[in-house]
């Protein structure tokens, strides 16, 4: 995915309360609890005026599937634990990795994701380069944090944070020299915080994964829900709803990059 390093995002607001009920016209017998990790912009977050890409998508899916959904905002490090313990739990914006493969039911593939080392000082193409230059910030409880810890040596420092916005502020202030993050999220935050006067340089892409809506292994009727969700998503792609959601958060370039493969998948599902 060559376009990972060319992502540009647009400024948006966000919406998620501590418990935000979203009710479809015809309710399912048992509501689905949708867990949203805080600080997940531009995908989803707690507080603000808009719900993010995954939030808007999930709200629309709930309507189209006639399912009652209750959105529960929790710290990101607790999302997987909450979903695992909840027989009605679903997680938004979860990267599908080998380590997580057997822990969840992977309901819907939503977006490709790429990870880069960001810095206003220099382009760091390897973890070793960044750690040699100084402390590197990363989101705690993620595979990215484990990657950095695996190569850290001696007095090199990996600074784990619970909110990506904190990492951006630390990078701006010089408390860290680099920030390992999802490319679209780092650029979005840099712009939202008003740091555009100091260009954010992205090094080589370190990894690519796919972000999903995923469910607890305990979720009753998960296979049926997966089928219905994929059919509803295909319909959203076909009628332009998904493109409208994406264009509210991504640049035209990034939206064009994401859509073709999804349109092909949507056509296959609708046949």
pTM of the predicted model over 0.75: no
The pLDDT assigned to 47 comes to 59
Based on its alpha-carbon atoms, the radius of gyration of the chain, rounded to whole angstroms, reads: 18
The pLDDT assigned to 178 comes to 98
Burial 25-55 (b: 16+ CB within 10 A, else e): eeebeebbbbbbbbbbbbbbbbeeebbbbbb
End-to-end CA distance of the chain: 27
Which CATH fold topology does 114-207 show? Answer: D-Maltodextrin-Binding Protein; domain 2 (3.40.190)
* CA dist., res. 1 & res. 97, Å (int): 17
Q: Is 194 exposed, middle or buried (0-12, 13-18, 19+ CB in 10 A)?
A: exposed
The pLDDT assigned to 13 comes to 31
Sign of CA dihedral 114, 117, 119, 125: negative
* CA dist., res. 94 & res. 100, Å (int): 9
The pLDDT assigned to 261 comes to 57
The residue assigned the tokens 């020299």 is 177
In degrees, rounded to 5, the angle at the alpha carbon of residue 52 between the alpha carbons of residues 50 and 58 is 105
Range(s) for CATH 3.40.190.10 in the chain? 2-113+209-270, 114-207
Which residues, 6 or more positions from 184, have their beta carbon under 8 angstroms from its beta carbon? Answer: 7, 9, 42, 113, 250, 254
Sort strands 104-119 and 201-202 into parallel, antiparallel or unpaired.
antiparallel
**Each residue's pLDDT expressed in tens, for the chain with a length of 271 residues:** 444 544 333 323 333 333 444 444 433 468 899 998 776 778 877 555 678 899 899 999 999 999 999 988 888 778 888 998 999 999 988 888 888 899 999 999 998 888 999 999 999 999 999 999 999 999 988 889 999 999 999 999 999 998 888 999 999 999 999 999 988 888 888 888 999 899 999 999 998 888 999 999 989 889 999 999 999 999 999 999 999 998 888 777 777 777 765 554 544 554 5
CATH match of 2-113+209-270 with 3.30.70.3270:
no
Half-sphere exposure of 152 (CA within 13 A, CB side): 16
């Amino acid at each position: 995915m060559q376009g990972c390093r060319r992502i540009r995002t647009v400024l948006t607001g966000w919406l998620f309360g501590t418990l935000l009920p979203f009710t479809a016209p015809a309710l399912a017998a048992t509501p689905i609890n949708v867990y949203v990790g805080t600080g997940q912009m531009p995908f989803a977050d707690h507080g603000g005026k808009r719900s993010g890409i995954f939030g808007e998508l999930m709200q629309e899916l709930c309507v189209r599937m006639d399912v009652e959904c209750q959105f529960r905002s929790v710290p990101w490090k607790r999302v997987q634990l909450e979903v695992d313990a909840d027989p009605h739990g679903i997680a938004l914006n979860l990267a599908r990795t080998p380590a997580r493969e057997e822990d969840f039911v992977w309901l819907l593939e939503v977006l490709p994701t790429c990870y880069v080392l960001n810095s206003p000082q220099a382009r760091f193409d390897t973890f070793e380069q960044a750690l040699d230059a100084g402390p590197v910030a990363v989101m705690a409880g993620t595979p990215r944090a484990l990657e950095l810890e695996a190569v850290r040596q001696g007095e090199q420092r990996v600074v784990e944070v619970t909110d990506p916005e904190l990492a951006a502020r630390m990078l701006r202030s010089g408390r860290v020299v680099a920030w390992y993050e999802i490319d679209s999220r780092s650029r979005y935050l840099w712009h939202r915080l008003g740091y555009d006067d100091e260009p954010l340089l992205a090094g080589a892409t370190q990894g690519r994964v796919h972000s999903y809506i995923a469910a607890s292994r305990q979720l009753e009727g998960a296979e049926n829900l997966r089928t219905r969700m994929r059919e509803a998503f295909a319909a959203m792609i076909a009628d332009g709803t998904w493109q409208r959601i994406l264009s509210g958060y991504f640049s035209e370039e990034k939206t064009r990059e994401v859509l073709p493969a999804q349109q092909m998948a949507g056509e296959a599902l609708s046949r």
